[in-house]
A and B are shown apart, each in its own frame.
Chain A
Amino acid sequence: MTEPILSARGLNKSFGPVHVLHDVDFDVYPGEVTALVGDNGAGKSTLVKCFAGINSIDTGTITFEGEPVTISDPRAASALGIEFVYQDLALADNLDITQNMFLGREISRMRAFLADGEMERKARETLASLSVRTVSSVRQQVANLSGGQRQTVAIAKAVLWNSKVVFLDEPTAALGVAQTRQVLDLVRRLADQGRGVVLISHNMNDVMEVADRVAALFLGRVAAEVQKTDTSTTQIVELITSGRTGDLGLTAATANEVM
Chain B
Amino acid sequence: MSTETPAPASSPSLDKPERAGEFSLDVEERSIVGAFHDWVTRLRTGDPGALPSVVGLVVLGIIFMQVSSAFLTRYNIGNLPGQGVYIAVIAMGLVFVLLLGEIDLSAGTAGGMCAALAAVAIFDGDLSNGLPTFMYWSLVVGLAIGVGLAVWVKAWSASVVIALGFLLVVTNLTQHLELALLAAICIGTAIGVLNGVLVAKVGIPSFVVTLALFLAWQGVLQFALAGRPVNTSNYDFWHNLTYGTLSPTQSWIFTLVVVLGFLAFTLTEALRAKAAHLTHDAISLVLLRGGLIALVGIVLTILANQNRNPNERSTLVIQGIPTAAVIALVLMIACTLALKRTTWGRHLYATGGNAEAARRAGIDVVHMKVTAFALCSSFGAMGGILLASSQSSASLDLGSGNVLLFSVAAAVIGGTSLFGGRGKPRDAILGALVIVIIPNGLGLKPSLGAQWQQVITGIVLLLAAAIDAVSRRRARRS
Chain A interface (Cβ < 8 Å from any Cβ of B) = 74-75, 86, 88-95, 99-100, 103-106, 108, 111-114, 117-118, 120-121, 124-125, 127-129, 131-141, 144
- Rounded to whole Å, the gap between the CB of B345 and the closest CB of chain A is 8
Which residues of chain B are within 8 angstroms of A138 by Cβ–Cβ distance? 23, 26
B7 partner residues in chain A, CB cutoff 8 A: 128
Q: Residue on A with the closest CB to B363?
A: A104
| Complex Cα gap A246–B449 (Å) | 90
Q: From known contacts A94-B422, A141-B45, infer whether A128 and B22 are also in contact, taking CB-CB under 8 Å.
A: yes
Chain A, residue nearest B7 (CB): A128
Judge whether A74 and B362 touch: CB under 8 Å: yes
Shortest distance in angstroms between A243's beta carbon and chain B's nearest beta carbon?
A: 33
Whole-angstrom distance between the alpha carbons of A74 and B344 in the complex? 21
Task: Name the distance in Å between B129's Cβ and chain A's nearest Cβ.
Answer: 42
A225 to chain B, nearest CB (A): 29
CA distance A121 to B20 in the complex (A): 16
CA distance A257 to B171 in the complex (A): 76
Q: Which 5 A-B pairs have the closest CB atoms?
A: A104-B361, A117-B278, A133-B21, A92-B353, A94-B353
Q: List 21 A-B contacts (CB under 8 A).
A: A92-B349, A92-B350, A92-B358, A99-B349, A103-B346, A103-B350, A103-B357, A112-B344, A113-B341, A113-B343, A117-B279, A120-B26, A121-B279, A124-B5, A127-B23, A128-B7, A128-B22, A129-B6, A132-B21, A136-B25, A140-B25
With both beta carbons as reference points, the residue of chain B lying nearest to A86 in the complex is identified as: B360
- Whether B424 sits at the interface, judged by CB under 8 Å, is no
Whether A136 and B20, one on each chain, are in contact in the complex, defined by CB atoms closer than 8 angstroms, is: yes
**In the complex, how many angstroms separate the beta carbon of B48 from the nearest chain A beta carbon?**
15
A112 & B358 in contact (Cβ 8 Å cutoff)? no
- Given that A104-B363, A113-B342, A117-B276 are contacting pairs, would A94 and B4 also be in contact in the complex, using a CB cutoff of 8 Å? no
CB within 8 Å of A: which of B305-334?
A: none
Whether A117 and B280, one on each chain, are in contact in the complex, defined by CB atoms closer than 8 angstroms, is yes
Residues of chain B within 8 A (CB-CB) of A89 are 357
Interface residues on B, range: 35 or more
- Looking at the assembled complex, report how far the CB atom of B20 sits from the nearest CB atom of chain A, in whole angstroms: 5
Instruction: Please report which residues of chain B, range 359-397, place their CB below 8 angstroms from some CB of chain A when the two chains form the complex.
Output: 360-363
Q: How far is the CA of A111 from the CA of B156 in the complex (A)?
A: 15
Nearest-Cβ distance from residue B337 to partner chain A, whole angstroms:
9
B138 in the interface, Cβ–Cβ < 8 Å? no
A155 to chain B, nearest CB (A): 15
A118 with B357, Cβ < 8 A, contacts A125-B5, A135-B23 known: no
User: Known: A94-B421, A117-B280, A144-B45. Is A131-B25 also a contact (CB below 8 A)?
Assistant: no
A105-B343 Cα distance, complex, nearest whole Å:
9
**Bound Cα distance from A170 to B128, whole angstroms:** 64
Asked if B6 and A112 make an inter-chain contact with CB atoms under 8 angstroms apart, the answer reads: no
How many angstroms between the C-alpha atoms of A259 and B353 in the bound complex? 44
Interchain CB contact under 8 A, A137 and B350: no
Q: Are B349 and A94 in contact (CB under 8 A)?
A: yes
Given contacts A90-B360, A120-B279, A128-B5, contact A137 B26 (CB under 8 A): yes
Q: In the complex, what residues of B have CB within 8 A of residue A120's CB?
A: 26, 278-279
| Assembled-state Cα–Cα distance A138/B23 (Å) | 7
A91–B360 Cα distance when bound, in Å, is 10
Q: Whole-angstrom distance from the CB of B8 to the nearest CB of chain A?
A: 9
In the complex, B227 has a CB within 8 A of chain A? no
Q: Which residue of A has the minimal Cβ distance to B270?
A: A117
Given contacts A94-B349, A137-B25, contact A117 B341 (CB under 8 A): no
| Distance of A233 Cα from B427 Cα, bound (Å) | 58
B343 touches A131 (CB 8 A): no
Give the distance to chain B from A226, nearest Cβ to Cβ, in Å: 33
Which residues of B are found within 8 Å of A118, using beta-carbon distances? 276, 278
- Closest Cβ of chain A to B364, distance in Å, is 10
Task: Say if the beta carbon of B133 comes within 8 Å of chain A.
Answer: no
Q: A113-B342, A121-B277, A134-B20 are in contact. List 20 more A-B contacts (CB 8 A).
A: A88-B356, A89-B357, A90-B361, A92-B357, A92-B358, A95-B346, A95-B350, A99-B350, A103-B358, A103-B361, A103-B363, A104-B363, A111-B343, A112-B343, A112-B344, A114-B342, A120-B26, A133-B17, A133-B21, A139-B26
Among A94, A124, A129, contact of B26 (Cβ-Cβ < 8 Å): A124
- Tell me whether B108 is interfacial, beta carbon within 8 Å: no
Say if the beta carbon of B112 comes within 8 Å of chain A. Answer: no
Could you tell me if B24 and A105 are in contact, using CB atoms closer than 8 angstroms? Answer: no
Query: B20 — which chain A residues lie within 8 A by C-beta?
Result: 133-136
Residue numbers in A under 8 Å from B24 (CB-CB):
136-137
Rounded to whole angstroms, the CA-CA distance of A124 and B27 in the bound complex is 12
The answer, yes or no, to whether B354 is at the interface (CB within 8 Å) is yes
A114 touches B346 (CB 8 A): yes
Min CB–CB distance A192 → chain B (angstroms): 15
Contact A136 B23 (CB under 8 A): yes
- Cα A120 to Cα B360 in complex, Å, equals 21
Complex CA gap A242/B276 in Å reads 59
Is B178 positioned at the interface, with any CB of A under 8 Å from its CB? no
Say whether, besides A91-B357, A99-B346, A104-B358, A131 and B421 are in contact (CB < 8 Å): no
B352 at the interface (CB under 8 A from A): yes
B362 pairs with A104, CB closer than 8 A: yes
Tell me the chain B residues, 248-281 only, with Cβ under 8 Å from chain A: 273, 276-280
Q: State the Cβ distance, B449 to closest chain A Cβ, in Å.
A: 42
Inter-subunit contact B5/A92 (CB<8 Å): no
Give the shortest distance, in Å, between A220 (CB) and chain B (any CB).
Answer: 25
